[in-house]
Amino acid sequence: MSVKILYFSWLREKVGKSEEIVDLPANVGTVADVMAWLRARGPEYEEAFARPRVVRAALDQVHVQPTASLQGACEIAFFPPVTGG
Amino acid sequence: MSVRVQREDFDIGAETRALTAARSDIGAVVTFTGVVRAGGAGASLASMTLEHYPGMTEKELERVEQEATVRWPLQATLIIHRVGTLRPGDNIVLVVTASAHRGDAFAAAEFLMDYLKTRAPFWKSEIAADGTKRWVESRESDDQAAERWSRDAPK
């Protein structure tokens, strides 16, 4: 499945890019699966996702938990806890 | 009801007048303005840069605003959040709520800020006076401030 992945804040800095299109294997079914799959892609991903519990995610621009199923989402975003306001 | 994400500053008086113009059903207007602080303990702040998630930010602010209008009888609301590089003393965020009575306007303004701080996809980085950069970390007190609204029965 081809999806767009976005990275924000220090995740963008560690990964070294703000977005990319990736082909996810069929066995990657949840947000947590995507993080585990990304971690195996290289040292920059390994470092960005070293503490998955502090990484937040959105599917098609809606906040989700790591257990959320991808359900055909087109856009997955990873970011630290938000600090606006 | 409207939300805006912009680089430019905002004029609190002009925004409030625009919101209440030609209406006679508003008895209370509450405005909250968030401003860049120079810093507390530690190195003083030279500048702060806000990045966001274009598209999701607007949707999330609209969801937060919608939630407020379900909880309180509001005649009008406005959220403006700035992005880009800001300096101490600069405005960051404006929340305006208008209602028939002050209780609803005060409560809704506080709710909007508490929810915005934990849900809207903005991230702050700071450059200290000595040139070092750091990402601002989220505060547990902000999560607690937002959580109390889910415990409260709506209105």
Strands B74-82 and B2-6: parallel
Residue B114 sits in a domain whose CATH number is 3.90.1170.40
Q: Is a pLDDT exceeding 70 seen at residue B40?
A: no
- Give the model confidence (pLDDT) of B3-22 as tens digits: 999 999 999 999 999 999 98
- Give the model confidence (pLDDT) of B84-102 as tens digits: 999 999 999 999 999 999 9
Domain ranges of chain A: 2-79
In a mutational test of the A interface, the residue from B138, B139, B147 whose CB has the highest number of chain A CBs within 10 Å is: B138
Dihedral Cα B132, B57, B6, B137, nearest 10 deg: -20
Average pLDDT over residues B48-52: 97
Could you list the residue range(s) of the whole structural domain that residue B19 is in? Answer: 2-151
Per the confidence metrics, is the pTM higher than 0.80? yes
ipTM score for this prediction: 0.95
Cα separation, B85 vs B50, whole angstroms: 6
> Based on the structure, what is the number of domains in chain B?
1
Average pLDDT over residues A12-37: 97
E strands in A1-85: 2-7, 19-23, 56-59, 62-64, 75-79
Compute CA distances A35 → A38, A40, B88, B121, whole Å.
Answer: 5, 9, 37, 19
- Chain B's closest residue to A9, CA to CA, is B123
Q: Using CA of residue B57, residue A69, residue A28, residue A52, what is the dihedral sign?
A: positive
Interface of A with B (CB under 8 A): 6, 8-10, 58, 61-63, 77, 79-85
Residue A66: burial class (beta carbons within 10 Å; 0-12, 13-18, 19+) = middle
The fraction of chain B above a pLDDT of 70, given in percent, is 94
For residues B102 and B65, is the Cβ–Cβ distance under 8 A?
no
Element (DSSP H or E) covering residue B133? strand B133-135
Neighboring chain B residues of A61 at a CB cutoff of 8 Å: 53, 55-56, 59-60
pLDDT in the model for residue B155 = 47
Whole-number average pLDDT of chain B: 92
One CATH from 1.10.10.10, 3.10.20.30, 3.40.1280.10, 3.30.70.20 for A2-79? 3.10.20.30
Average pLDDT over residues A5-18: 98
Out of B50, B125, B137, name the one closest to residue A84 (CB): B50
The fraction of chain A above a pLDDT of 70, given in percent, is 100
Q: How far is CA B48 from the centre of its chain?
A: 16
For residues A1 and A70, is the Cβ–Cβ distance under 8 A?
yes
